Amino acid sequence: MIFLKFNLCVIVYETILYVTVATVNDLHDLKYFDRRKADSEAFLMPSDFAMASELGDNDWQDSDDWALYSSGKFEGDMDITEGDILELTNTYPIVDSEDTYPQNNVLYNAVRNRHQLWPNSRIPYAMSNQYSSYSRSVIAAAMEEYTQHTCIRWVPRSVEDYDYIYIMPDRGCYSMVGKTGGKQTVSLGTGCIQKGIIMHELMHAVGFFHEQSRTDRDNHITVLWENIQPGMQGQFEKYDHGIIDSLGADYDYDSIMHYGPRAFSGNGQPTLVPKIPIAIGQRLHFSTLDIFKINKLYNCPLRVIGTKRTAVSSSPKINESQKLTNASIHLIITDSCKNIRSDCDELAVHGWCTGNPRWMKHYCPKSCKLCSNLTVQPCVDQRPDCFTLMQNGHCTISNVFMHAFCSKSCDFCKSVLRNETVATLLSTKSAIITTETTTSKSNR
Q: How far is CA 206 from CA 76, 85, 177, 290, 410, in A?
A: 18, 16, 7, 12, 33
d(CA 413, CA 243): 47
Residue 144 above 90 pLDDT? Answer: yes
Tell me the per-residue pLDDT of 294-327, one tens digit each, with 9 for 90 and over. Answer: 998 998 885 543 333 333 433 333 222 323 333 3
Q: Which has more pLDDT, 319 or 26?
A: 26
Tell me the per-residue pLDDT of 208-223, one tens digit each, with 9 for 90 and over. Answer: 888 888 888 899 999 9
Architecture of domain 41-296: 3-Layer(aba) Sandwich (3.40)
d(CA 176, CA 78): 6
Domain chopping of the chain, boundaries:
41-296, 325-443
The answer to whether the CB of 124 falls within 8 A of the CB of 155 is yes
pLDDT at 165: 97
**Residue list, annotated binding site:** 200, 204, 210
Tell me the per-residue pLDDT of 247-259, one tens digit each, with 9 for 90 and over. Answer: 567 788 899 988 8
Of 100, 81, 123, the C-alpha closest to 237 is 81
pLDDT at 310: 39
pLDDT at 378: 63
Q: Which residues is 122 bridged to in the sheet?
A: 153
d(CA 435, CA 402): 10
pTM of the model: 0.60
**3-class DSSP assignment, residue 68:** helix
Annotated active-site residue 14? The verdict is no
Mean pLDDT of 277-288: 88
Task: Say which of 14, 145, 160, 201 is annotated catalytic.
Answer: 201
**Residue list, annotated binding site for Zn(2+):** 200, 204, 210
Lowest mean pLDDT among 114-123, 191-200, 339-348, 367-376: 367-376
Where does residue 154 rank: exposed (0-12), middle (13-18), buried (19+ CB within 10 A)? buried
pLDDT at 216: 83
